[in-house]
């Protein structure tokens, strides 16, 4: 028969009983809980019902056989202990190969070109003297270059 209204003390005690059944730590002191359960028949029944439910649920819990975990662990592929060493070795070989390529380019390929280096004034072999002579012979803009008869 459902109880429609409970006193505030019974509500707090039932919350404490629920906490106990869940395995939570008690907020209500154990002596207060014990004293109320001895005095209140309704809350005492509630406590017995919760205890019975908890015990029934414990019967349904399935525990794993002790050999399950070792068998599962044995069936998993073993993780290689040298995986980290292999990664470092691969990175070192890649770095070495890149350094060797850069050295061979600088040593054998780049010096084999016979062209002189490009200067900032123009293409290789251009003389900047010719350009300077042409610039000095040109009159400023807006001046007449024809000679007039006197």
Chain segment 51-69, per-residue pLDDT in tens: 888 878 777 777 778 888 8
Annotate the chain with DSSP letters as a single string: ---S---HHHHHHHHHHHHHHHTPPPSS-HHHHHHHHHH-HHHHHHHHHHHHHHHHHHHHPPPPPTTHHHHHHHHSPPPPTTHHHHHHHHHHHHHHHHHHHHHHIIIIIGGG--PPPPBTTBSTT--HHHHHHHHHHSPPTT---SPPP-
Chain segment 91-142, per-residue pLDDT in tens: 999 999 999 999 888 887 766 655 556 566 555 555 555 555 555 566 666 6
Sketch the domain layout of the chain as residue ranges.
Answer: 8-60
């Amino acid at each position: 028969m459902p109880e429609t209204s409970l006193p505030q003390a019974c509500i707090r005690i039932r919350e404490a009983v629920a906490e106990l059944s869940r395995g939570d730590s008690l907020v209500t002191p154990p002596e207060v809980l014990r004293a109320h359960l001895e005095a209140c028949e309704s809350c005492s029944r509630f406590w017995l019902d919760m205890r019975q439910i908890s015990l029934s649920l414990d019967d349904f819990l399935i525990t794993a056989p002790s050999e399950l975990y070792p068998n599962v662990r044995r069936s998993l592929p073993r993780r290689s202990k040298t995986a980290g060493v292999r990664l470092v070795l691969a990175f070192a070989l890649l770095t070495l190969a890149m350094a060797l390529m850069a050295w061979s380019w600088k040593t054998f390929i780049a010096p084999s070109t016979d062209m002189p280096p490009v200067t900032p004034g123009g293409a290789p072999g251009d003389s900047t003297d010719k350009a300077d002579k042409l610039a000095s012979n040109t009159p400023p803009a807006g001046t007449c270059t024809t000679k007039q008869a006197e």
